[in-house]
Amino acid sequence: MEERNLPLGMEVGKMLREMFRVLKKRTCEQAQIKLTIEEFGLLHAISRKEDDVIQKDMAYILGKDKSAILRLIDSLEKKDLVRRVVDANDRRKNYLMVTKNGEKALKEYVEIGAKLMTELQEGLTEADMNTFYKVVNQIRSNSEKI
Amino acid sequence: MEERNLPLGMEVGKMLREMFRVLKKRTCEQAQIKLTIEEFGLLHAISRKEDDVIQKDMAYILGKDKSAILRLIDSLEKKDLVRRVVDANDRRKNYLMVTKNGEKALKEYVEIGAKLMTELQEGLTEADMNTFYKVVNQIRSNSEKI
DNA sequence: TGCAATAGTTGATATTATCAATTATTTATT
DNA sequence: AATAAATAATTGATAATATCAACTATTGCA
C-alpha cells in the first residue's frame, strides 16, 4: 500500500468532489436558498459555536485566510443569512449572528446533508468512521505543527 | 458522534488545506519547477497509468470536468512537462506523454510528498490508513451511484 | 450518404484562495 | 499623556480552478 502515499490528497479530493457534486445537485433541487458549499460550511460553523464568534476565530476554525472568510461573510450577509454585530466594548471585533433566514436555510441544508451522508456511509460501521476521523484529525494536527 | 454528520466535508477540507499548505511551502523551497497541487496531481496520474492515456480518461479518473483537465494539460504542456500525441489511427484521441522534464519535476515532487506524508501519518498505523482509504473509497463509490 | 457517437476545444462566468498593505481600535509602554 | 505595539478587520490585486453549454473534428454504423 506504499504506493498510496501522497495520492492521498488526490483520492480524498476526488471523494469530496463526488460528494459535493451530489450535495449541490440535491440542494439545488430541494432547498429554497442557494448556498455554495463554502457558504454552507461557514454558516454551519457559526451556528454551531455556542460562545461568541468573531471573524478571526472562524478563519482559524475553518483553516482559511481571514480575507477569504471576510468575503464569505460578505456574501452571507448580502443574502441576509448572517449579521455582523460590533462588540460594544471593543470596536475591532465583529460578532457573527445567524439570522432567522439563516437558521431556516441552514435547517434545509443540514437535513439534506444528513440524509445524504447516511446514504454515502452505507456499508461503513461506526468504528470505520471513528478511525476515519482519527486519521483526518491526526494528519491535520500534524500539518499544523509544521 | 452523530453531530459529526456533514461537517465531514468541512473537516476533510480543512485537513486537505493544511496538508497542501505544507506541501506547497516545501515544494516552493525545494523543487526547481513550480507546479500547483492540481498540476502535480494530474502529472502524477498520467505518469502512473501503464496503458495509454487520453484526456477523457484522465477527467474520469480524477473526477474533474474535461474542460478543467484540458486547461491543466495546456498548463503542463506550456511548462514542457507533458506532450499531446495524436493517435495515428483515430485523430480524435490525444495520448498524453510525460516528458523528460516532466519525469524530473515529478520525481522531486513525489519525494517531497512522500517524506511529508510519512511525517503527517506519524501516530497512525497501517490498519488505520487502510480503514481510512476504505471509507474514502466507499463514500466516493456511493456518491458515483447517485 | 447521413446520422449518431466520441474526443477535444472554447468562451463565459462563478467561486475561492492568497498575499501584502492598509485602516481602525485597543493595549502596553515610556 | 503620548507613543508604540498588537489586534481585528478590510482592501486591492492576482491566480487558480470549476462549471456549463455550445461548438468543431473525427470515427463508426446503418
Q: Which three cell numbers stand for residue A134?
A: 482519527
Model confidence pLDDT, tens digit, residues A13-42:
999 999 999 999 999 999 999 999 999 999
Q: Is residue A124 part of a domain?
A: no
Residue A67 domain boundaries: 10-111
How many whole angstroms separate alpha carbon A19 and alpha carbon A144?
26
Q: What is the dihedral of CA B41, A14, B128, A133, to 10 degrees?
A: 120
Q: Is residue A125 part of a domain?
A: no
To which residue does cell 498520467 refer? B46
A140-B59-A22 Cα angle (round to 5): 65
Model confidence pLDDT, tens digit, residues A113-145:
999 999 999 999 999 999 999 999 999 999 988
Residue nearest to nucleotide C14 (CA to C1'): A36
More confident call, A5 vs B71 = B71
Q: Is residue B7 part of a domain?
A: no
Distance from CA of A88 to the nearest CA of B (A): 31
Model confidence pLDDT, tens digit, residues B10-61:
899 999 999 999 999 999 999 999 999 999 999 999 999 888 889 999 999 9
Largest distance between two CA atoms of chain B? 56
Distance from CA of A87 to the nearest CA of B (A): 28
A67-A68-A71 Cα angle (round to 5): 85
Q: Is the pLDDT of residue B1 over 50?
A: no
Q: How far is the CA of B71 from the C1' of C9 (A)?
A: 10
Nearest to A90 by CA among A64, A56, A66, A65: A56
Question: Residue A146 has what pLDDT?
Answer: 85
Write down the ipTM of this complex.
Answer: 0.88
The SS3 assignment for A54 reads strand
Q: Is residue A138 part of a domain?
A: no
Domain count, chain B: 1
Question: Residue B44 has what pLDDT?
Answer: 94
Identify the CATH number of the domain in which residue B56 sits.
1.10.10.10
Mean pLDDT of chain A: 92
Instruction: Judge if the beta carbon of B26 is closer than 7 A to nucleic acid strand C.
Output: no
Q: Is residue A139 part of a domain?
A: no
Alpha-carbon separation of residue B71 from A82, B67, B77, B110 (angstroms): 36, 6, 10, 22
Best mutation target, B14, B46, B109, B118, to test chain A (most A CBs within 10 A): B14
Cβ B116 vs Cβ A136: under 8 Å: no
- Find residue B82's DSSP bridge partners: B98
Q: Is residue A144 part of a domain?
A: no
Q: Is residue B124 part of a domain?
A: yes
Q: Is residue A16 part of a domain?
A: yes
Binning chain A into helix, strand and coil, the percentages to the nearest 5 are 70, 10, 25
